[in-house]
Structure 1
């Protein structure tokens, strides 16, 4: 017999404390609900009552699970794009000396790989984010989340297998296979992202910040893994093997943490409508509120435009252009030849982005939504600034910012504003809609983000040709 549990919960989203707080501040935020009463409506004859004192996030399991799920969402992209040396090795000119392939003239596959990867990640993300809106009421949350994470785990294990294979005789086929793998991975990641963003809106703002910050933290972990492997002298294939294994382990832990999280009383308490199987029970229909998509769109369009512009600007040049920027001292030191790209382009970018997201959780400014939109458009200035850095090879534009410190400053500000504006916008979204509209609202915001990434990556492929 199907059993549907409906929680009639109306939680206020005042938005006055969207802080990523620790210790006592976080405890006080979670304790607000201790005296709240939950009425459990069941489609069977069984009824029960959740004990108010048990509605705390015990051991912060839900908080850290959302953090980990945020990391899992970005794992396919961050681990694939950070493994730059590995892909450069796979698509090198096989007739050159293997030990010096990074110093040789790049092949067409090497030059275009990151841009193609960006498109393969962004376009399916958009399509699957749109699909997720229609899956909300048709496929249960757990079925969506667990299915896509299992597929992601399988594809990462398959990628580990290909690391050990010699693909020199079928580079073009392997290139296509890699792009197909990236398309499927990011399609799954999009459904996971849309699902997680949809439900996290039912929690306080610190949980939204946890998901957003987790995405930056995933990029940081991937960058650190690559830097360590380079520091110990591991070959590009050995390094790739290690951090694709780490990526697989991260996804596996995400599966376990999700299963634990959804079975906690705190999680069930915060989900206003929780369906274990489907919404077909007529006795429960009175508790399910219909939503007007057009009305929700009118409420959150400024948030959507902000997210679109921020992600569009970022994916225009990162990593397609930024990964091509070379150190001013290339050819003279290990820093310039080996560590410059992973440390600056990946680690610095993700750390700055992470700081921006944390800052947005602590300082809820600007409060005026139009100001957010204006700031998101102002980031377009970073596109020409980064194009004028020392990205190679180039055929049309002159290099204006040839010094390393100039590129570092521009990239750090670029990433910082990306993280701040995205998280500031997403935090405000639940405050603009009714409680029962939260899930759909955040899914729509995810679609705006997907549109920004898709159009940005397509534009980025063309921008690389301008160099």
Structure 2
């Protein structure tokens, strides 16, 4: 690495852009899951029209929430896996720019379909296809950005994850505003889906600006393999470097734990995918477990929870406020807290233990007021909000720690591979949770 005295100072511009990039990567998913009620209501409206020749109204259960979750996560898993091995074949700029452009186009298409009359089966198919392709491009975008941000100090990974947390809050507030407005459903939905179009365009502009900033350019250039020729090799220098800011929460060039272990090694080539995985497998399995638990019940089960109060006005807001806004706000808090607290440490056994303990949230949410069932332990709205608060807080906190710790365990030249692998396991957790949601939803 180059001398620390040569490092430029980030006065906030790079941090803001990284935060915006995080916001942009999860906007597509969050805008779709937050609009679950819009899609389900529209399908109900269409099916209630009935068949032709005076037949009675049709009733068809599309199981929209579970199918949406599954068809969002499968392409995320497949394309993230492809990105883990093929990222060297296509330039990063092309991958990111094309992905953002495609997502923007698909959101515009979604906004257009709001005003288009369609049969329920056709509307369902078009929506599912849109979700599939948006998440395919989103997988490439997310994997590429995680790899790129892995070249920066770890605090920028935290900022990126916090931006992803804000994406959910952003979508939830947009949904709330559409409910509050006095506009008809079609007009409100149109405004709702135009919002991420603008946000995606801003995200693309932020990405194009990033390489022109001195701080970002410094790290991107000095993370190339040839830059590691400047690593010191003497025992004295190794001892001195042991006190370097390895967590990267200052504006200094960072030597990762993997760099320190590699000092004196003349091999400047990238490590194999398997070699990188052997160093980060604990973090990879942790992020998989966290998201498998979360997606198994959110949103497929949580949107079925009903308010204990028989108030039609409150019923309009209950799911949006107590499910999506509470979850996304506390998820954002959980991600943001990691800027100040990083406990347990990446080497602690408490870390995977606490991650596994999150499984308890599945029965807790299942026993909330999800319908006319015999076994309801937590019927009050306050109990549901309390469970969702802890559920979301732990989700954001452990995801952010896992994604921030992984690049610190490998050499800086392997950070892109580590980022791509972590994104794959993130997608694996989402897919496993989505598949499990079918079973859990059928039980309520």
Structure 1 length-normalised TM: 0.80
**2:283 aligned to which of 303, 326, 330:** 303
CA contact (8 A) 1:145 1:191 kept: yes
Structure 1 CA distance, aligned partners of 2:88 and 2:107?
Answer: 29
Partner residue in 1 for 2:41: 89
Question: How far apart are 1:63 and its partner, in Å?
Answer: 1.4
Partner residue in 2 for 1:362: 340
**1:228 aligned to which of 158, 162, 177:** 177
Structure 2 CA distance, aligned partners of 1:213 and 1:155?
Answer: 25
Partner residue in 1 for 2:24: 72
**Which whole-Å deviations, capped at 9, do the CAs of 1:118-138 have from their partners, x for residues lacking one?**
001111101111111123211
Structure 2 CA distance, aligned partners of 1:157 and 1:312?
Answer: 30
Structure 1 CA distance, aligned partners of 2:58 and 2:217?
Answer: 53
**2:110 aligned to which of 156, 159, 163:** 159
1:129 and 2:107 equivalent? no
CA contact (8 A) 1:356 1:419 kept: yes
Map 1:340-359 → 2, pairs under 5 A: 340-359=318-337
**Which whole-Å deviations, capped at 9, do the CAs of 1:264-315 have from their partners, x for residues lacking one?**
222221114569xxxxxxxxxx996221222211111110111010000000
Task: Please list every run of 5 or more consecutive structure 1 residues that lacks an aligned counterpart in the other structure.
Answer: 1-9, 12-31, 37-51, 98-104, 276-285
Partner residue in 2 for 1:267: 216
Partner residue in 2 for 1:448: 425
Structure 2 CA distance, aligned partners of 1:289 and 1:361?
Answer: 32
**Which whole-Å deviations, capped at 9, do the CAs of 1:101-153 have from their partners, x for residues lacking one?**
xxxx995446x111111001111101111111123211111000000100000
CA contact (8 A) 1:361 1:424 kept: no
Partner residue in 2 for 1:405: 382
Residue 325 to residue 137, structure 1, CA distance change in 2 (3 Å): same
Residue 262 to residue 135, structure 1, CA distance change in 2 (3 Å): farther
Structure 2 CA distance, aligned partners of 1:72 and 1:117?
Answer: 20
Map 1:6-155 → 2, pairs under 5 A: 10=1, 33=4, 35-36=5-6, 55-58=8-11, 60-94=12-46, 108-109=60-61, 112-155=63-106
Question: How far apart are 1:243 and its partner, in Å?
Answer: 1.7
Question: How far apart are 1:239 and its partner, in Å?
Answer: 1.8
CA RMSD in angstroms, aligned pairs only = 2.2
Give the secondary-structure state (helix, strand or coil) at the position aligned to 1:92: helix
Structure 1 CA distance, aligned partners of 2:162 and 2:59?
Answer: 36
1:320 and 2:273 equivalent? no
Structure 1 CA distance, aligned partners of 2:401 and 2:330?
Answer: 15
* 258-267 or 375-384, larger mean C-alpha shift: 258-267
Partner residue in 1 for 2:238: none
Partner residue in 2 for 1:461: 438
1:375 and 2:354 equivalent? yes
Give the secondary-structure state (helix, strand or coil) at the position aligned to 1:203: coil
Structure 2 length-normalised TM: 0.84
Question: How far apart are 1:466 and its partner, in Å?
Answer: 1.0
CA contact (8 A) 2:48 2:58 kept: no
* 230-239 or 383-392, larger mean C-alpha shift: 230-239
Task: Please list every run of 5 or more consecutive structure 2 residues that lacks an aligned counterpart in the other structure.
Answer: 50-56, 226-265
Structure 2 CA distance, aligned partners of 1:415 and 1:460?
Answer: 17
CA contact (8 A) 1:208 1:427 kept: yes
**2:412 aligned to which of 422, 435, 439:** 435
How many residue pairs align between the two structures? 395
**2:366 aligned to which of 378, 384, 387:** 387
Residue 80 to residue 177, structure 1, CA distance change in 2 (3 Å): same
Question: How far apart are 1:96 and its partner, in Å?
Answer: 5.1
Question: How far apart are 1:93 and its partner, in Å?
Answer: 4.2
Question: How far apart are 1:360 and its partner, in Å?
Answer: 1.9
Partner residue in 1 for 2:52: none
